[in-house]
Amino acid sequence: MGDWLAQWLISNGFMGAPPKENFDTFEFIENHPAKDKIFEKLCIGGLCRSLDSTMNDILATLGYDYARRHLVIPIGREGENLHIATCDPCAFGTIDDIGARLGLNVICMLAKRSLLLSFFNEQRIGGAREESTAVRGERSENKKEERPKIPLDRLFEYFAELAVAARASDVHFECNGTGMRLRFRIDGKLKTIRQLDQNLARAAVTNIKLRAKLKLDETRLPQDGRLKIGIGGRTHDVRVSIIPNIYGENAVLRIFNGEREDFSLSNLGLNTSQISWINALSSLDSGLLLIAGPTGSGKTTTAYSLLKHIASPSKKVITVEDPIEYMLPRVSQVAVDEKIGLTFERILRAILRQAPNVIFIGEIRDPETAQSAIQAALTGHLILSTVHAGSAEEAVTRLQDLGISHYLIDSCLRCVIYQELMRLKCKFCQGEAQCSKCLGRKYYGRTGVFEILVSNDFIAGASPSKFNNFGFLCTVEREIARLGAILYGEDVRLKNLSL
């Protein structure tokens, strides 16, 4: 075990005389009556006699060369605790570094140095030794393009940095028959970045699981998690989704910049008339304001901008979200946790006892949440929420599909804001192939296009015969145009966009 351990045992009173020439310190500790006290003072969890249960996934993520250099081997995990075999449990700098790299609490198990050396000399670690720092590049039709070699423990940071630099909203790791395809979604469109070597596919997903504190041994069921990463002096929140497929596991990372958004209505793409409507509606004391649109259309950003506009020292604003994407000033935010029974419906019942003025419900997705939102809107609260729909009218139909009667919708629905995000033509290159901003895609950035439909209580002088068969929402273009509102198609035309 080395002279240092024998000297430590002597200095701490666990051994009297200096050891003989062939003295086995490992066996001495194993048979010592104060073995548990030795473990406590050495800050170890016990002794490691064999390496039959090594965790090759974590070893590949940690980096084979790193583990060999420091003679550490992960041998087990219990929740957030990772057990590693080491011959030097007093190397606190290395232990702290391992914990920081993996995001886990490290518990050392004392092992013989000869056992660790034998392991690294004789074992093959799931392909980690072979090309452990290789990343296969994309191939052109006639030649191979060389790519920089990336250590396994740096894969996540490397691709996250690429994604942020490319303004990607999400990153897709997709296992296929030849390895793993990496794609970025930029301005709403997916772009293939490169193909990863098959030997790295499993290690890449394991790395993501470790950082998101997901179960490493669960490969049959979907898992969701979150993590944070610092890039370029900013902290980015990342939402993680893992699902199994026939070749392995797919991972999707949704990237949020918690320090980026100022959430101003003027930055959304709303015109002056639309902002005037929203200002009037947000001053209401009660009712339901819906923000509708397809997935990824910016509904949450619009909702947060509206909440920031509404929040003031004279109003109590509470949100129910799954998950909380950004922190807002002067707003009490509550996260849903269905694992412990903390559902939208249960939180809403509790929130009503907090006497709020405004409640934001992250999404109306089931009958229970819809019914709770309607009841809260009918009892003197202003409710703001989002719903997935393909148009403003479909948002109303969606409420009916969730079991809300038309007379209840008529009583509380005040407004539907429908929105989509559309790409903007690159103003830097005008379509030049070598543009460093859009990379030849001809588009750079997106803007919102909106349609606002308002309940008939706000349409002065409108005849009931002009309303649709539900009797609560004005959809007659000339009536809305007369009052200055702009429909979706007109908003697109005025912004010189193409559908």
Q: What is the dihedral of CA 305, 311, 317, 319, to 10 degrees?
A: 20
243 vs 235, higher pLDDT:
243
pLDDT band at 229 (very low <50, low <70, confident <90, very high): confident
Same domain (yes/no): 183, 199: yes
* Summary mean pLDDT of the chain: 77
Report the predicted TM-score, pTM, of the whole model to 2 decimal places.
0.62
Same domain (yes/no): 231, 314: no
The yes-or-no verdict on residue 480 having pLDDT over 50 is: no
pLDDT band at 37 (very low <50, low <70, confident <90, very high): confident
Same domain (yes/no): 433, 392: yes
Same domain (yes/no): 80, 196: no
Instruction: Give residue 496's pLDDT.
Output: 56
| Residue 220 backbone zone (phi > 0: left; psi -120 to 50: alpha; other: beta) | alpha
In a domain, 127, yes or no: no
Same domain (yes/no): 10, 87: yes
227 vs 54, higher pLDDT:
227
CATH number of the domain to which 26 belongs: 3.30.300.160
**Token representation of residue 71:** 């003679």
The yes-or-no verdict on residue 290 having pLDDT over 90 is: yes
Instruction: Give residue 398's pLDDT.
Output: 93
Instruction: Give residue 183's pLDDT.
Output: 92
Give long-range contacts, CB 8 A cutoff, 24+ apart: 313-316.
Answer: 315/357, 315/358, 316/354, 316/355, 316/356, 316/357, 316/358
The yes-or-no verdict on residue 1 having pLDDT over 90 is: no
pLDDT band at 460 (very low <50, low <70, confident <90, very high): very low
What are phi and psi for residue 253, nearest 5 degrees? -110, 120
In a domain, 377, yes or no: yes
**Token representation of residue 238:** 């990342």
**Residues in the chain, total:** 499
Contact 2, 8 (CB under 8 A): no
pLDDT band at 153 (very low <50, low <70, confident <90, very high): low
The yes-or-no verdict on residue 73 having pLDDT over 80 is: yes
Same domain (yes/no): 173, 233: yes
Q: How many domains does the chain contain in total?
A: 3
The yes-or-no verdict on residue 482 having pLDDT over 60 is: no
| Residue 295 backbone zone (phi > 0: left; psi -120 to 50: alpha; other: beta) | beta
pLDDT band at 282 (very low <50, low <70, confident <90, very high): confident
Looking at the chain, the whole-number percentage of residues with pLDDT higher than 70 is 74
Same domain (yes/no): 313, 450: yes
The yes-or-no verdict on residue 404 having pLDDT over 90 is: yes
Same domain (yes/no): 59, 166: no
Same domain (yes/no): 253, 110: no
The yes-or-no verdict on residue 279 having pLDDT over 70 is: yes
The yes-or-no verdict on residue 206 having pLDDT over 80 is: yes
42 vs 32, higher pLDDT:
32
Of 324-333, 374-383, 486-495, highest mean pLDDT? 374-383
Of 7-16, 60-69, 325-334, highest mean pLDDT? 325-334
Contact 263, 331 (CB under 8 A): no
Residue pLDDT, tens place only, 92-141: 667 777 877 777 788 888 887 777 777 776 654 444 444 444 433 443 34
Distance CA 172, CA 242 (A): 10
Domain boundary among 84, 107, 122: 122
358 vs 120, higher pLDDT:
358
Radius of gyration of the chain (CA): 29
Instruction: Give residue 156's pLDDT.
Output: 78
In a domain, 164, yes or no: yes
- Residue range 276-301: mean pLDDT, rounded: 90
372 vs 442, higher pLDDT:
372
CATH number of the domain to which 219 belongs: 3.30.450.90
- Residue range 230-253: mean pLDDT, rounded: 87
In a domain, 286, yes or no: yes
Instruction: Give residue 479's pLDDT.
Output: 38
Domain boundary among 227, 257, 287: 257
Instruction: Give whole-number Cα distances, 139 to 142, 144, 145, 189, in Å.
Output: 8, 5, 6, 22
The yes-or-no verdict on residue 145 having pLDDT over 70 is: no
SS3 per residue for the chain:
CCHHHHHHHHHCCCCCCCCCCCCCHHHHHHHCCCHHHHHHHHCEEEEECCCCCCCHHHHHHHCHHHHHHHCEEEEEEECCEEEEEECCCCCHHHHHHHHHHHCCEEEEEEECHHHHHHHHHHCCCCCCCCCCCCCCCCECCCCECCCCCCCHHHHHHHHHHHHHHCCEEEEEEEEECCEEEEEEEECCEEEEEEEECHHHHHHHHHHHHHHCCCCCCCCCCCEEEEEEEEECCEEEEEEEEEEEECCEEEEEEEEEECCCCCCCHHHCCCCHHHHHHHHHHHCCCCEEEEEEECCCCCHHHHHHHHHHHHCCCCCCEEEEECCCCCCCCCCEEEECEHHHCECHHHHHHHHHCCCCCEEEECCCCCHHHHHHHHHHHHCCCEEEEEEECCCHHHHHHHHHHCCCCHHHHHHHEEEEEEEEEEEEECCCCCCCCCCCCCCCCCEEEEEEEEEEEEEHHHCCCCCHHHCCCCCCECCCHHHHHHCCCCCHHHHHHHCCCCC
88 vs 137, higher pLDDT:
88
Instruction: Give residue 221's pLDDT.
Output: 93
186 vs 126, higher pLDDT:
186
In a domain, 128, yes or no: no
Contact 83, 45 (CB under 8 A): yes
Same domain (yes/no): 299, 441: yes
In a domain, 135, yes or no: no
Distance CA 178, CA 136 (A): 11
Distance CA 358, CA 207 (A): 41
CATH number of the domain to which 376 belongs: 3.40.50.300
In a domain, 147, yes or no: no
Domain boundary among 223, 257, 291: 257
Instruction: Give residue 173's pLDDT.
Output: 93
In a domain, 345, yes or no: yes
Q: Which of 14-28, 33-47, 134-148, 238-252 has the lowest mean pLDDT?
A: 134-148
Same domain (yes/no): 274, 221: no
Same domain (yes/no): 91, 174: no
In terms of residue numbers, what domain contains 202? 152-257
